[in-house]
Each structure stands twice: as C-alpha cells, then as structure tokens.
Amino acid sequence: MAAVRRSSRGTGRARREGSPTVTGTARPTSRDVARAAGVSQATVSLVLGGKWRGRVSEATADTVRAQARELGYRPNIAARNLRLGRTRTALLVVPSITNEYFARIYTGAARVAEEHGFGVVLYPSPEGVGPARDPFGSARAALDGIIASSMAADALAAIGEGGLPLVMLDADPDTPGPAATVNLAIADGMRQIAHHVRALGHRPERVAHLAADIDTWTFRVRAQALAEVLGTTPTTEHSALDIEAARHATERLLARTGTRPTVLVCDDDVLAVGACKALRRLGLRVPDDISVTGYDDFALASAIDPELTTVRLPAEAVGAGGMTALLDALADRPATGAELPVHLVVRGSTAPPRDT
C-alpha cells in the first residue's frame, strides 16, 4: 500500500511501506486504525464520531474510514457511553407486561430506540398506581430516561426522584413534571362509542357502564366522556381488568338494575369479553338481548362470536412517539407532546335494541 501523507491538522506519523498490520483474531482497536491510516487516535475518534469537519481534511477522513472498514473495526459503544455519561438505555414502565396494549407500546418504543442506538428495558408496576420500585437501586446510574404508560403520576416518585427526563403516555396532560405527554384521543374514542349506541336507538337510561377499577386519568376520562354524550351518569359497575372479574361484575350489575340495560359499554376489550361470558351464562344473547362494546381492539375483539364493536388504538405509534419525545429531551431539543386519533370499529356485538 502506498504511503499516506498526514493531514496538516493531524498529529500522527505517516504510514510507511511495511508498517505493521493487524493479524490474528483479536478485535481491532482505534489504535490499529490510527496506525494503518497514519494518523493519531484522536483523529480516528473525530472521524468515526462524525466530528471531523473543520478539524480534519476530507481526504484524511476518507482514509480513516477506509482503513476502519478494511480492518473490520467497530467502535466500543460501552466505553464511548461511559465517557459521555450515558447508558443509552430508557426504562418503559407499564402496569402489566402481559397486556397486549402495553406489548404494542413497547414494540413502537423499541423500534425508534433501535434506530438511535438505544435500548429499552420493560418494567411493570402493577395496576399503574404504584408506587413503582426503582428496579436498579439507582435509576440515575443505570438509565438515561423514563417513559411511563397509563400510570398515576405519584406512582413514579421513587424512580423519577433522580431527576431523569420523563415522558408520560396516556396520562393527564396537565400533570406537572414530564418533559412531554403523548396521548391517545381517549375521550373522543368513548364519545364515538356513545354516539354509536345512541344512533342505534339505545336510550341513555338503558346504557350501563362496566368500568375499570383503576383510578387513573385514562379511565376517568372515559367515564366523563360517556356521561357527557348520554347527558346522564349511567348505571356503573367496576371491575378489575380480568375476564373472570368482569364476568362477576356483569352479573352483579344485572342483578341490581331494575330495568335491564340494552347496551353494556366496557372500558376495555378484556372487560367486554368477561361481560359476554356472563351474558351467555345468564341465557342472554349478544346483541339480540344486550349489545356490548369494548375499547382497545385487542386480538380478543375479533376472536369472540359475535366480534366486538370497539375502539382501535394505535399503540405502536404511541410508543414510538414517547421514545421520540424522550430522545428530544435528552438532546436538549423541545420535547413536544401529541394526541393521536382513534377510531371506532363497528362489528357484530352491537345492534338496535329489540324493545325500543
């Protein structure tokens, strides 16, 4: 290989014929690249770190990159992150790791993180009301930032006390503290359901609400939006987000209502499936005797018969938006929030009431 002349800004010795080359199976280092290119390790660092313009000539930069490719050099990301004081790791806190919605949130966040050389650690805080333990003993030492989905604000006190950037998903946009909030149009989704059942002819006093027994913003907003469209607070029964719990809650609701409801509006598809199970056990047909609606559009919604009328949520887009907002905050760019649209999917579980 011909000798390579050193840049006037470089500090290393030019490579001469017969300079040593990397042999064996050892992983090449930046020193090996510097020796092969005839420049200093500092120059290699500038070039491979993308900070060479104005400090190293373009010809030298080309030479460094060519030698790095020839040697199969890969930068030591861990060492670089240690120098920068970054772990390139985000923590995603969710109420459940078995819930399909939160799995899709993770998928969206991890996709954006990977594009930027970040990793995402998924961590559950049961029911989202916490308090969530710091999973690493010292979050500041192990993480760069936190994304929290569908969590109560005070549930994150133990993790967030280290001053890490925080992005909230599906949370009250007026909550003080987060760098950004990325939300779905939750209230609009419930309004779409309420308008749908009204259009089918269901009277407000014959609408019942199977509500999630979790005191977080996302479920409070659903109840408020439903009452807003109906013009009244419907008969309500609360349930844990579990099919069997929802079955029992539906049975309690029907046992205490004087006039049987013609439609049961559920906060979640899991609740709706439990409601359908209870109605079958009671000898009632969906939607002939009682219509049922869900919320989320999980795989369950199209797996039952009749298929479930529900609201589809772009969960992956929420996760991606949350990770993007966190990256902006870490780069000292304005971390903007967003509200993503949702839409009603009408299937066979809703129909006009028979006794209109």
Residues 45, 112: one domain?
A: no
**Euclidean distance between CA atoms 264 and 11, whole angstroms:** 76
Give the mean pLDDT of 90-105: 90
**Euclidean distance between CA atoms 345 and 347, whole angstroms:** 6
Could you list the residue range(s) of the whole structural domain that residue 69 is in? 7-75
Q: Is residue 68 part of a domain?
A: yes
For residue 344, give the nearest of 321, 313, 306 by alpha carbon: 313
User: Does position 24 have pLDDT exceeding 60, yes or no?
Assistant: no
For residue 189, give the nearest of 274, 78, 254, 266 by alpha carbon: 266
pLDDT in tens, 126-167: 655 555 555 555 445 578 899 999 876 666 655 555 578 889
Q: Is residue 354 part of a domain?
A: no
CATH of the domain at 24: 1.10.260.40
Residues 110, 64: one domain?
A: no
Rg, Å, the chain Cα set: 28
pLDDT in tens, 213-271: 988 899 999 999 999 999 999 999 999 999 999 999 999 999 986 789 999 999 999 99
**Euclidean distance between CA atoms 205 and 334, whole angstroms:** 47
Residues 308, 190: one domain?
A: yes
From 75, 101, 128, give the residue that closes a domain: 75
pLDDT (0 to 100) of residue 312 = 97
User: Does position 199 have pLDDT exceeding 90, yes or no?
Assistant: yes
pLDDT (0 to 100) of residue 98 = 86
Quick check: helix, strand or coil at residue 16? coil
pTM (2 decimals)?
Answer: 0.72
